[in-house]
Chain A
Amino acid sequence: MLAVFRDLLRYNIEFAIGIVLVGLVVIFACLSFFSPVDPSLIYMTIPDQPPSAQYWFGTNSRGQDLFWQLSAAFRNSLMFGLTVAILSRIISIAVGLASGYIGGWVDRVLMFINDIFVAVPIFPVLVLFYFVLRNNLDSFTLALIMACFGWPFDARLIRSVALGLKHREFTRHAVFAGMSTRKVLLEEHLPYVMPIIFSTFMNNMLWSIGLEVTLAVLGFTNINNPTIGTVLYWANSHSAMVVGTWWWIVIPVILIVMTFLGLFLLAISMNEYIDPRSRLRRMGA
């Protein structure tokens, strides 16, 4: 595993850039654990200060030091993305492996449900949940709802791999040796789908953080909880671009683009590593 990591770092420029970008953002987010200020409090500093030696990222119109505000926001958003990714991975692994390995009507039923979830436009649904729950819609509930919608694509992917594994020799050995279905799936097949899980993990984080940003910007989440989206929400509601506090918008946007590019590059470079055909192409080049 470590050797793979080192090879990727050395020979795959996308992976290296991705690691650097994500690494910077993660370190920045981790600084919030040492934050001298409580990010939920307002009017703690002089408002509307441009970036300076004292306030690296400036301060916003609500009197918050943007450096610590953003640090907390990125921590919350990354945690949110991780939660959704982990939860939805669990569902997609369970559905994908079961569907691919058991097959028959189990497969048909699961894939039918899968297709329904694919066809439902998630954004109106999330808005609906906000509409009903209003401020009871905390981050974890939102993560839970998103996880319920974030699995079908990846479940299909895992299913196709599981279908291939089912007919392999070692599966038959395991079955003849009297392994239970659960055991075959967890001990024999799971290791094979792990690489896919890693790369879809990144993609899923991208998706969920992006949706959270969107919802928050519209004010459809708990706006008092600092996240990437709520920072932008407050910037918009104070018309930051119009009144000239550009750093309130520009700095978060730069950080967001860094996060997304980084995660995306990690996902595709891993994808390439997984797919032996693209590896062959690379060997040819």
Chain B
Amino acid sequence: MTQDILKVEDLKAYYQMNYFGIEREVRAVDDITMTVRKNEVYGIAGESSSGKTSFIKVLAAAIRPPFRVINGSVKYDFNGKPIDITTASEAEIEAIRWKHLSYIMQGSMSVLNPVRRIGRTFEDFAARPLGLSGRAFRERVVTHLAKLKLSPNVLNAYPHELSGGMRQRVTIGLATVCHPEFIIADEPTTALDVVVQKEVLQLIRDIQKEMGAAVIFVTHDMSVHANVADRVGIIYAGRLVEEGPTREMFFAPKHPYTAHLVASLPRIGDTSQRPALEGRPPSLADPPQGCRFHPRCPLAVDKCRREVPPLETIGKDHRTACWRWQDVKPLDHVHRANGQEAIA
């Protein structure tokens, strides 16, 4: 029986701003309910400014004004030690950081302090949660770095002296050295070139397998999800619109947006025109009525314009928020081969 390590319920988190007397509310996370199980990689996909970054900010307990949790709960269960991020005190959250919950941040260029040697950064980050110091600590770090194929010399280097791939491996090392049970990886491969990207993905997967951690993996790149994720959730305009096992999401998407994302994957040798979505993602400050996808949806009917579709369960582990999910077909004939290639 697999256990849930993270349970998010009815989560609403908005940016509430007041500038020059004009109040603005950006509904970045609007009613998301989901769970992550132990030992799985959960992929989160969505366009930029879809709210996925805001969502994981909440998961990582990085909620700062003007960003606020309006409603709902985010419950972690670390070996029988339950904690709700939305209600926990600062001290309780500090106590789980890095020891249980760690984070791989987007953009390896800027996440390391440019004026500190890597070794010092490791001390800052990991000495306290590991409860080690001096030689014991250093040995632990060096052993861990070896798993990431990094020589102990990097500890004496400054970030700017390392290549992009090395820096990303260092940040993965930082995030995993304390063997946390839950890792949030935010676009860890985006800024890397393809070869390094593959290497880094492999690394994250290996480390995750070895430690048995749960990983939330965020990227807009569906082919990366095909490679690493066990389950994928699609976020559109602040809402979870579809969630299911990776294979099903690629072969039988049940939301027109997912279908579109999957169909737009490039495929070797294929030069046919890809159907582009019309319009832009909606503004989260002023989202459309009804289903937020309807202005761009090829299947939209009147009901979609009026009523918000609930996220209903339509199969094992498969949920979708679409009034017409039964009519959603894979978008084009290349799709099947496409999915297979990405999965393979």
Chain A interface residues (CB < 8 Å from chain B) = 7, 10-11, 279, 282-284
Contact = CB atoms under 8 A, between A and B. Distances in A.
Contacts of B298: none
A282 B17 CA distance: 9
A223 to B, nearest CB: 48
Q: Rank and list the top 6 A-B pairs by shortest CB-CB distance, nearest first.
A: A283-B19, A283-B17, A284-B66, A11-B20, A7-B20, A284-B65
Interface string B13-29: 00001111100100000
A279 B24 CA distance: 14
B69 to A, nearest CB: 16
Interface string B21-56: 100100000000000000000000000000000000
Nearest to B65: A284
Interface in B56-97: 65-66
15 contacts: A7-B20, A10-B20, A10-B21, A11-B20, A11-B21, A279-B19, A282-B19, A283-B17, A283-B18, A283-B19, A283-B24, A283-B66, A284-B17, A284-B65, A284-B66
Contacts of A7: 20
Given A283-B66, A284-B17, A284-B66, 12 more contacts: A7-B20, A10-B20, A10-B21, A11-B20, A11-B21, A279-B19, A282-B19, A283-B17, A283-B18, A283-B19, A283-B24, A284-B65
Nearest to A284: B66
A283 B24 CA distance: 9
A7 B19 CA distance: 10
A284 B24 CA distance: 11
Contacts of B65: 284
Contacts of A279: 19
A67 to B, nearest CB: 40
Contacts of B20: 7, 10-11
Interface in B117-164: none
Interface string B294-310: 00000000000000000
Contacts of B17: 283-284
Nearest to B24: A283
A7 B24 CA distance: 17
Contacts of A11: 20-21
A10 B20 CA distance: 8
A283 B18 CA distance: 5
Nearest to A8: B20
Nearest to B19: A283
A11 B19 CA distance: 9
A187 to B, nearest CB: 30
Contacts of A283: 17-19, 24, 66
Nearest to A282: B19
Contacts of A284: 17, 65-66
A217 B20 CA distance: 43
Contacts of B21: 10-11
A159 B272 CA distance: 46
Contacts of A282: 19
B295 to A, nearest CB: 27
Contacts of B66: 283-284
Nearest to A279: B19
A213 to B, nearest CB: 36
B232 to A, nearest CB: 33
A283 B19 CA distance: 5
Nearest to A11: B20
Nearest to B17: A283
B124 to A, nearest CB: 26
A282 B19 CA distance: 7
A170 B334 CA distance: 39
A78 B26 CA distance: 47
A282 to B, nearest CB: 6
Contacts of B18: 283
A282 B66 CA distance: 10
Contacts of B19: 279, 282-283
Nearest to B67: A284
A282 B18 CA distance: 8
A206 B21 CA distance: 32
Nearest to B66: A284
Interface string B253-289: 0000000000000000000000000000000000000
Contacts of A10: 20-21
A285 B180 CA distance: 34
A283 B21 CA distance: 10
A80 B286 CA distance: 52
A70 to B, nearest CB: 37
A279 B65 CA distance: 15
A36 B136 CA distance: 87
A7 B22 CA distance: 11
A7 B21 CA distance: 9
B28 to A, nearest CB: 14
Contacts of B24: 283
A11 to B, nearest CB: 5
A73 B163 CA distance: 62
B213 to A, nearest CB: 33
Nearest to A6: B20
A238 B311 CA distance: 87
A10 B65 CA distance: 24
A7 B18 CA distance: 14
Most chain A beta carbons < 10 A, residue from B17, B20, B65, B66 = B20
A283 B26 CA distance: 13
Nearest to B18: A283
A239 B274 CA distance: 87
